[in-house]
Amino acid sequence: MSSALPMGAHARTMKEMSENRIEIAQMDAEMARLQAEIAKIQRRKEEKQRRNRDIEAQQQVKGDFSAATLNYDSEECPWSRSMRTAMRETFKIKDYRLCQRAVCNANLDGRDIVCVMPTGGGKSLTYQLPAFCGTGVTVVISPLISLISDQIMHLNELNVLAAKMTGSTSASEIKQIKTRLTNLIENNVDRHLALLYVTPEKISKSKDFRSLLQRLADNRKLDRIVVDEAHCVSQMGHDFRPDYRELHLLRKLCPSVPIMALTATCPPKVRDDLVKVLGLKPFCKDNELDGTLYFTAPLYRPNLHYSVLPKSPQSKKATDTVVNWILKHHRYDCGIVYCTSRKQTEELARDLQAAGIRTGFYHADKKDGEKEHLHEQWHRGEIQVVCATIAFGMGIDKRDVRFVIHHSISKSLDGYYQESGRAGRDGKDADCVIFYRPQDAWTLAGMLMGGEEKMFPMLNFVQDVVECRKLQFAHYFSHSAELALSAWGDDAMDPCGHCDNCMRNDSEKEGRDVSLEAWQLVKLMKKVCVSKSRYTAQQISDLARKGKVAPKKNAPAETVDMDRVCGGLVKMDAEQLEFLLVWMWTKGYASVKYQQTAYTTTAYICAGPMAFQLSELRKEEVSGSGRTMVTLPKPSKEKKTPKGKGKSKEIVVSDDEDDMFEDDDEVEAEYLNGLDDEVQYIPYGIALGLIQKQRSDVGGGGKGKQREVEEDVIMVHDDDDDVEVAPVQRRKRKSDAATDSDEPSNGGWVSNLRGDVPARKGPASATRASRGKKRAKAGKPVAKVAKTTNRLGPEVIEIMDSDDDDA
């Protein structure tokens, strides 16, 4: 019997199948649309949940704050008048800030206190002023000698009697201090020592000092004990110090002496630890007369301008970027550059020094004496920039720090908030800049070997190119530290309007659908990490983009058939792909395994616990589904310097440093480089940095040094610290030919690099943009620089001036 269907039936069957296929495809499309919709709703739901938690936290902690300040924020206390006089006359401070008055009053009333105020918010005054007004001594426990020295220096300048007992205090000084304290106990003094600073080791290790404390307390001459940077007590904090644990001895030794704990960051777990370790009384409710008072003050500091800037994968270039940024934005200002390693602090300091910036370096390997010396030099302004590990900075009180740069990311966002908070303590504008590249995330992972819960908020911060930095801090601290959003000011939910993300164009903030790429990466990691689990993020990125990874010594290149594994190569720029990998790690699509050798720990990447959410799907289900939306930074358009001796490359310096791009070099470079493929434009400010650097490379900046190069080159004169950059010959760009005739023959651009570059006569701002575009399109940059590469690195060999339109 034949199974063949009659012709009509067959055609009907075929037709039905074909209709079914169409319907299935439509259903797939509908499902994909619904999934994207669900993902969107999910995001909106999370946003609403987050908002509700914010409101709850706000209401809850607002209550605590008002209870704590109710009785004390007044001028009605018996000591109010004398305290105000001391504040003005001795401390030269006109009025109280934030919750300073309430804390001072609570201190003089003998309360236990936990005070959380922003870095640079003025915590010191809250115990120094009561100490000055009291009759006994205030003992301050502080984690770092540099911090202590700084405070003592400042207090002595104000003529407040303060001393320190640390490892570097000489025997004769210690003797003197002890005599003073004994005299105080015996009521035998005219002017008493108001403040005595010690490190926590002094409490944990010196029996002699502990018995001195006890004697002071027994004789009612110990007014209070202040624990500065109190978060160091807790292992849950970002800066745990084992010696802080031993501070539990204090309450036992001097049970009736009030204790004050000060910090800028205090998550609930840290706060609980504080209470436990320091033996503080339970937090008081309402207007109880006993119990520990908890004060917080707004943590947002509007004078700090936060930004995250891209960092080159090559370390030399990365360092140059930092040097040039400083030269351009803060040539004569005081600042700190935080580095991850001791070696990095020294190298960067050398480069900055070579660029003519008075720079010192600071790290744990330096001897105590050297540290103190550097610290004093910095305080006196003899050193302008300090390149340091995080050993430098906690509690550093230099008011005029105009910038804090992080050459690499911090270990946690709490840490970053503290470190960057060293800037702008005088309330004036200051920049807080992180130079970030995704590979730093893996380096830090290798250093920390875990601790993702602390690292991820930091990574989210640097990878987020959309949300206002102030709001990111506010969300982080209000969740992680359960701090009230009100701690970020009354307008806590308003964007700051001046960070990099607030200043970014909306077009740069648009999310990109990377569902397919994320799916491919998950598939790839699942595949290769089963057969071999040792691929770094960089290698996974290579495999994903090229299907092969660079061979190790004498080994063949490792290849993966990407078509079979995940339907083809991942089509994404390398920088963006590494950025995506970090994002996948923070979201659980990827995870990290660590491999330790005697010298280093390497972080290897593999599929994470959430990977199944993507890997279980088919390619058609993820492709264009909108499941995974990420805003990636724009790929940088860095052009490669030609390799090989003698090869040269023309670079054109644009003149618009104070015109249409309003000093934003990156925007300027991006715009100009989009105009012409053959010529690389560099912004004027960066060119100045280059020239300055070369000047110090070749001439050392010494008096009378002169750099004259042959024809076609720029002459760098260094005469009595005046530098002239004199163009000697004009070189024509092809497109310039028509316009060159009316340009002066020797350019005439002479600039004194020591002072400000002479202001150019510029048209009114309304016409700047069109003028700038016209000039750039006509190929009329004011100055051109041709560059060769020699052993000193890039050498500027020619600067030519075109005209100034307004001349």
CB-nearer residue toward ligand ATP: 228 or 736: 228
130 binds ligand ATP (CB under 6 A): no
Please list the residues that pair with 334 across neighbouring strands: 401
Q: Can you tell me which residue has the tokens 């590979």?
A: 439
The Cβ-side half-sphere exposure at 181, using a 13 Å CA radius, reads 29
Q: Where are the alpha helices (DSSP H) in 90-218?
A: 100-108, 125-133, 145-157, 171-185, 200-205, 207-218
Whole-number CA gyration radius for the chain: 32
119 binds ligand ATP (CB under 6 A): yes
Window contacting ligand ATP (CB under 6 A); options: 89-97, 355-363, 371-379, 749-757: 89-97
Query: Rounded to the nearest whole angstrom, what is the least distance from the CB of residue 131 to ligand ATP in the complex?
Result: 13
Q: Residue 590 is encoded by which pair of tokens?
A: 């990827």
Query: Rounded to the nearest whole angstrom, what is the least distance from the CB of residue 225 to ligand ATP in the complex?
Result: 17
Which residue in 201, 346, 376, 397 binds ligand ATP (CB under 6 A)? Answer: 397
Q: Can you tell me which residue has the tokens 């010959």?
A: 729
Window contacting ligand ATP (CB under 6 A); options: 318-326, 393-401, 404-412, 799-807: 393-401
3-class secondary-structure state, position 67: helix
| Residue 112 identity (one-letter amino acid) | D
CB-nearer residue toward ligand ATP: 54 or 73: 73
Which residue in 97, 717, 760, 773 binds ligand ATP (CB under 6 A)? Answer: 97
424 binds ligand ATP (CB under 6 A): no
- The answer to whether the CB of 799 falls within 8 A of the CB of 730 is no
CA distance 361 to 383: 10
**Residues 4-63 within binding reach of ligand ATP (CB under 6 A):** none
Window contacting ligand ATP (CB under 6 A); options: 119-127, 193-201, 218-226, 666-674: 119-127
CB-nearer residue toward ligand ATP: 356 or 393: 393
Q: Please, is 36 exposed, middle or buried when counting C-beta atoms within 10 Å of its C-beta (0-12, 13-18, 19+)?
A: middle
CB-nearer residue toward ligand ATP: 62 or 84: 84
CB-nearer residue toward ligand ATP: 93 or 629: 93
143 binds ligand ATP (CB under 6 A): no
Q: Residue 234 is encoded by which pair of tokens?
A: 């807790």
302 binds ligand ATP (CB under 6 A): no
Please state, as a whole number, how many other Cβ atoms lie within 10 Å of the Cβ of residue 619: 13
Q: What are phi and psi of 291, to 5 degrees?
A: 100, 165
Query: Rounded to the nearest whole angstrom, what is the least distance from the CB of residue 404 to ligand ATP in the complex?
Result: 11
The Cβ-side half-sphere exposure at 100, using a 13 Å CA radius, reads 22
Query: Rounded to the nearest whole angstrom, what is the least distance from the CB of residue 215 to ligand ATP in the complex?
Result: 29
122 binds ligand ATP (CB under 6 A): yes
CA distance 437 to 452: 18
CA distance 413 to 739: 54
What is the total count of residues that contact ligand ATP (CB under 6 A)?
19
Query: Rounded to the nearest whole angstrom, what is the least distance from the CB of residue 121 to ligand ATP in the complex?
Result: 4
CA distance 96 to 88: 10
125 binds ligand ATP (CB under 6 A): yes
The 425-444 contact track toward ligand ATP, x by CB under 6 A, reads x-------------------
The sheet carrying 706-707 orders its strands as 706-707, 715-719, 722-726
3-class secondary-structure state, position 800: strand
Please list the residues that pair with 785 across neighbouring strands: 651, 799
Query: Rounded to the nearest whole angstrom, what is the least distance from the CB of residue 516 to ligand ATP in the complex?
Result: 46
399 binds ligand ATP (CB under 6 A): yes
| Residue 802 identity (one-letter amino acid) | S
Q: What is the DSSP string of 372-418?
A: HHHHHHHHHTS--EEEE-TTS-TT---TTEEEEEESS--SSHHHHHH
99 binds ligand ATP (CB under 6 A): no
| Residue 98 identity (one-letter amino acid) | L
Q: Residue 79 is encoded by which pair of tokens?
A: 């000591």
**Residues 213-272 within binding reach of ligand ATP (CB under 6 A):** 264
Please state, as a whole number, how many other Cβ atoms lie within 10 Å of the Cβ of residue 269: 15
Please state, as a whole number, how many other Cβ atoms lie within 10 Å of the Cβ of residue 645: 8
117 binds ligand ATP (CB under 6 A): yes
Which residue in 136, 421, 608, 781 binds ligand ATP (CB under 6 A)? Answer: 421
CA 622, chain centre distance (Å):
35
CA distance 322 to 316: 10
What is the torsion angle, in degrees rounded to the nearest 10, for the CA atoms of residue 650, residue 655, residue 660 and residue 661? 60
- The answer to whether the CB of 90 falls within 8 A of the CB of 128 is no
Query: Rounded to the nearest whole angstrom, what is the least distance from the CB of residue 334 to ligand ATP in the complex?
Result: 13
Query: Rounded to the nearest whole angstrom, what is the least distance from the CB of residue 394 to ligand ATP in the complex?
Result: 7
CB-nearer residue toward ligand ATP: 140 or 516: 140
Window contacting ligand ATP (CB under 6 A); options: 76-84, 93-101, 571-579, 706-714: 93-101
727 binds ligand ATP (CB under 6 A): no
Window contacting ligand ATP (CB under 6 A); options: 94-102, 577-585, 642-650, 783-791: 94-102
Query: Rounded to the nearest whole angstrom, what is the least distance from the CB of residue 120 to ligand ATP in the complex?
Result: 5
Which residue in 54, 83, 99, 100 binds ligand ATP (CB under 6 A)? Answer: 100
Query: Rounded to the nearest whole angstrom, what is the least distance from the CB of residue 749 to ligand ATP in the complex?
Result: 42
Which residue in 120, 298, 310, 446 binds ligand ATP (CB under 6 A)? Answer: 120
Window contacting ligand ATP (CB under 6 A); options: 17-25, 95-103, 193-201, 253-261: 95-103
CB-nearer residue toward ligand ATP: 239 or 657: 239
CA-based end-to-end distance of the chain: 101
Which residue in 102, 121, 241, 446 binds ligand ATP (CB under 6 A)? Answer: 121
Window contacting ligand ATP (CB under 6 A); options: 122-130, 200-208, 615-623, 757-765: 122-130
CB-nearer residue toward ligand ATP: 119 or 751: 119
Query: Rounded to the nearest whole angstrom, what is the least distance from the CB of residue 118 to ligand ATP in the complex?
Result: 7
- The answer to whether the CB of 709 falls within 8 A of the CB of 786 is no
Window contacting ligand ATP (CB under 6 A); options: 21-29, 118-126, 614-622, 771-779: 118-126
CA distance 352 to 347: 9
CA 39, chain centre distance (Å):
32
93 binds ligand ATP (CB under 6 A): yes
CA 647, chain centre distance (Å):
38
CB-nearer residue toward ligand ATP: 397 or 573: 397
Q: Can you tell me which residue has the tokens 């009697």?
A: 161
Query: Rounded to the nearest whole angstrom, what is the least distance from the CB of residue 103 to ligand ATP in the complex?
Result: 11
Q: Which residues fall within 8 angstroms of residue 599, CB to CB, at 6 or more apart?
A: none
Query: Rounded to the nearest whole angstrom, what is the least distance from the CB of residue 632 to ligand ATP in the complex?
Result: 34
**Residues 542-601 within binding reach of ligand ATP (CB under 6 A):** none
Point out which residues bind ligand ATP (CB under 6 A): 93, 95-97, 100, 117, 119-125, 264, 395, 397, 399, 421, 425
